[in-house]
Amino acid sequence: MIIGSVLGAFLLLGLLGIIFNRLPQLHALVYAGCMVLCAILVGDGVYHVLHAGREEIPAVVLPFGLPWLKAHFRLDNLSAFFLVVINFPGALTSLFGIGYGAHVPGARRVTPLYPLFLFGMNGVLIADDAFVFLVSWEFMSLSSWLLVLADHTNAEARKAAMVYLVMAAFGTFCLLPAFGLMAGHDGAYGFAQMRLAHLTPLAGGLVVLLALIGAGSKAGLVPLHVWLPLAHPAAPSHVSALMSGVMTKVAVYGLIRILFDLRGDISWKWGFVIMVVGALTAVMGVLYAMFQRDLKTLLAYSTVENVGIIFIALGLAAAFRDHGAMTLSALALVAALYHVVNHALFKTLLFLGSGAVLASTGERRLDRLGGLLNRMPVTGLTFLIGAAAISALPPLNGFVSEWLIFQSLFQGPTVAHWAMRFGVPVVGVAMALAAAFAGTCFVRAAGIVFLGRPRSPEATAAVEVPLSMQLAMAIPAVLCLGLGVFPVMVTAGIATVIEPLVGVQMPAALLGWPWLSPVSPTAGSYSATMVLLTAIGLTLTTVLVVHHWGSRRVRRAPAWDCGHPEQIVNAQYSADSFAQPLRRVFGSVAFGAEETVEMPSPGDLAPARFTLRMIDPVWDGLYAALLWLVNAIADRVNRLQFLTIRRYLLLMFATLIVLLLVVAVRQQ
Amino acid sequence: MTALLFGIIHTWLVVGFAPLITGVVRLTKARLQGRRGATVLQPYRDLWRLLKKESVVADSASWMFRLAPYGIFVAVWLAATTMPTFTTYMILTPAADLIALVALLATARFFTALAGLDVGTAFGGLGASREMFVASIAEPAMLTVTFSLSLVAHTTSPAAIANFVLGGHVGLQVSFGLALGALVMVAIAENGRIPIDNPATHLELTMVHEAMVLEYSGRHLALLEAAGMTRLLLYMSVIVCLFFPWGLAGPESGPGGLLIGLFAWLGKVLVMAVGLGLFESLIAKMRVFRVADFLGGALLLALLATIFLYVAEAV
Best of B129, B142, B154, B307 to disrupt the A interface (most A CBs within 10 Å) is: B129
Q: Do B128 and A535 touch (CB under 8 A)?
A: no
Q: Do A559 and B156 touch (CB under 8 A)?
A: no
CA R_g for chain A: 26
Determine the Cα–Cα distance for residues A641 and A639; give it in Å rounded to an integer: 5
Q: Do B151 and A410 touch (CB under 8 A)?
A: yes
User: Taking the alpha carbons of B226, B227, B228, B229 in that order, is the dihedral positive or negative?
Assistant: positive
Q: Nearest-CA neighbor of A280 among A316, A254, A305, A247?
A: A305
pLDDT band at B40 (very low <50, low <70, confident <90, very high): very high
- Mean pLDDT of the A217-223 span: 92
Best of A526, A541, A548, A564 to disrupt the B interface (most B CBs within 10 Å) is: A526
Average pLDDT, chain A: 89
Q: Do A557 and B125 touch (CB under 8 A)?
A: no
Q: Mean pLDDT: which of A148-152, A203-207, A470-474 is highest?
A: A470-474
Give the nearest partner residue to B130 out of A425, A557, A581, using CB atoms: A581
pLDDT at B98 over 70: yes
Burial class (CB in 10 A: 0-12, 13-18, 19+), A408: buried
- Number of cross-chain residue pairs from A and B with Cβ atoms under 8 Å apart: 280
Nearest residue on chain B to A410, alpha-carbon basis:
B147
Burial class (CB in 10 A: 0-12, 13-18, 19+), A516: buried
Cβ A352 vs Cβ A469: under 8 Å: yes
SS3 B203: coil
Give the nearest partner residue to B107 out of A393, A559, A580, using CB atoms: A393
pLDDT in tens, B187-218: 999 998 888 888 776 655 667 888 888 899 99
pLDDT in tens, A9-31: 888 888 888 888 778 788 888 99
Determine the Cα–Cα distance for residues A526 and A510; give it in Å rounded to an integer: 11
- Mean pLDDT of the B53-79 span: 94
Average pLDDT, chain B: 90
Give the nearest partner residue to A573 out of B125, B136, B214, using CB atoms: B125
**Chain B residues near residue A448 by CB distance under 8 angstroms:** 117
Residue B249, beta-bridge partner list: B87
Q: Nearest-CA neighbor of A235 among A334, A181, A154, A302?
A: A154
Q: Which amino acid is at B158?
A: P
Burial class (CB in 10 A: 0-12, 13-18, 19+), A657: exposed
Give the nearest partner residue to B56 out of A557, A566, A579, using CB atoms: A557
- Ranges assigned E (strand) in chain B: 55-58
- Mean pLDDT of the A507-527 span: 70
Give the nearest partner residue to B110 out of A393, A426, A565, using CB atoms: A393
**Chain A residues near residue B54 by CB distance under 8 angstroms:** 551, 553-555
Percent over 70 (pLDDT), chain B: 96
pLDDT band at A272 (very low <50, low <70, confident <90, very high): very high
Nearest residue on chain A to B113, alpha-carbon basis:
A443
**Chain A residues near residue B121 by CB distance under 8 angstroms:** 559-561, 565-566, 571-572
pLDDT at A56 over 70: no
Q: Do A573 and B215 touch (CB under 8 A)?
A: no
pLDDT in tens, B234-287: 999 999 999 999 888 887 778 888 899 999 999 999 999 999 999 999 998 888
pLDDT in tens, A401-435: 999 999 999 888 877 788 888 889 999 999 999 99
Q: Which amino acid is at A393?
A: L
Q: Do A436 and B137 touch (CB under 8 A)?
A: yes
Determine the straight-line distance between the first and last CA of chain B, rounded to whole angstroms: 49
Percent over 90 (pLDDT), chain A: 57
Cβ A354 vs Cβ A364: under 8 Å: yes
- Mean pLDDT of the A59-74 span: 78
Amino acid A589: pLDDT: 86
Give the nearest partner residue to A578 out of B120, B125, B137, using CB atoms: B125
Nearest residue on chain B to A374, alpha-carbon basis:
B62
Amino acid A660: pLDDT: 94
Cβ A32 vs Cβ A94: under 8 Å: yes
Determine the Cα–Cα distance for residues A207 and A341; give it in Å rounded to an integer: 27
**Chain B residues near residue A535 by CB distance under 8 angstroms:** 74-75, 78
Calculate the alpha carbon distances from B117 to A311, A402, A443 in Å. Answer: 34, 27, 9
Amino acid B315: pLDDT: 57
In chain A, DSSP finds a helix count (H) and a strand count (E) of: 27, 5
Amino acid A52: pLDDT: 58
Q: Which amino acid is at A640?
A: L
Cβ A44 vs Cβ A3: under 8 Å: yes
Burial class (CB in 10 A: 0-12, 13-18, 19+), A127: buried
Q: Which amino acid is at A586?
A: F
Distance of CA A605 to the CA centre of its chain: 49
Amino acid B209: pLDDT: 84
**Chain B residues near residue A573 by CB distance under 8 angstroms:** 117, 122, 124-126, 128-129
pLDDT at A547 over 70: yes
SS3 A314: helix
Residue A129, beta-bridge partner list: A190
Q: Which residue has the higher pLDDT, A50 or A140?
A: A140
Lowest-pLDDT range, A33-42, A192-201, A502-511, B112-121? A502-511
Q: Nearest-CA neighbor of A512 among B255, B95, B295?
A: B95
Calculate the alpha carbon distances from B272 to A267, A508, B244, B258 in Å. Answer: 50, 41, 12, 21
Calculate the alpha carbon distances from A284 to A583, A617, B72, B140 in Å. Answer: 13, 10, 30, 16
pLDDT in tens, A577-628: 999 999 988 988 888 888 888 888 888 888 888 888 888 888 888 899 999 9
Cβ A160 vs Cβ A297: under 8 Å: no
Domain ranges of chain B: 2-314
Cβ A333 vs Cβ A310: under 8 Å: no
Amino acid A55: pLDDT: 56
- Mean pLDDT of the B69-97 span: 90
Cβ B20 vs Cβ B47: under 8 Å: no
Percent over 70 (pLDDT), chain A: 97
Calculate the alpha carbon distances from A367 to A91, A351, A378, A448, A558 in Å. Answer: 32, 18, 21, 7, 23
Q: Do A542 and B55 touch (CB under 8 A)?
A: no
Give the nearest partner residue to B157 out of A399, A525, A558, using CB atoms: A525
pLDDT in tens, A287-296: 999 999 999 9
The ipTM value here is 0.95
**Chain A residues near residue B156 by CB distance under 8 angstroms:** 407, 410, 523-524
Give the nearest partner residue to A538 out of B78, B94, B157, using CB atoms: B78
Determine the Cα–Cα distance for residues A106 and A114; give it in Å rounded to an integer: 12
Q: Do B123 and A440 touch (CB under 8 A)?
A: no
Q: How close is the nearest chain B Cα to the Cα of A551, in Å?
A: 5
CA contacts within 13 A on the Cβ side of B265: 27
**Chain B residues near residue A403 by CB distance under 8 angstroms:** 99-100, 103
Cβ B113 vs Cβ A578: under 8 Å: no
Determine the Cα–Cα distance for residues A666 and A421; give it in Å rounded to an integer: 48
Q: Is the peptide bond before B195 cis (omega within 30 degrees of 0)?
A: yes
Amino acid B75: pLDDT: 96
Tell me the angle at which helices B218-243 and B98-118 cross, rounded to the nearest 10 degrees: 160
Determine the Cα–Cα distance for residues A34 and A40; give it in Å rounded to an integer: 10
Lowest-pLDDT range, A70-74, A383-387, B70-74? A70-74
Q: Do B223 and A581 touch (CB under 8 A)?
A: no
Which residues in chain B (199-238) have CB-CB distances under 8 A to chain A? 203, 214-215, 218-219, 222-223
Calculate the alpha carbon distances from A69 to A133, A180, A182, A191, A612 in Å. Answer: 13, 14, 16, 12, 57
Q: How close is the nearest chain B Cα to the Cα of A316, in Å?
A: 16
Q: Do A582 and B133 touch (CB under 8 A)?
A: yes
Q: Do B52 and A452 touch (CB under 8 A)?
A: no
Cβ B134 vs Cβ B213: under 8 Å: no
pLDDT band at A509 (very low <50, low <70, confident <90, very high): low
pLDDT in tens, A335-349: 999 999 999 999 999
For residue B8, report the phi and psi dihedrals to the nearest 5 degrees.
Answer: -65, -45
pLDDT in tens, A471-500: 999 999 999 999 999 888 888 888 888 888
pLDDT at A230 over 70: yes
In chain B, DSSP finds a helix count (H) and a strand count (E) of: 11, 1
Amino acid A419: pLDDT: 83
Cβ A569 vs Cβ B120: under 8 Å: yes
Give the nearest partner residue to B132 out of A421, A443, A577, using CB atoms: A443
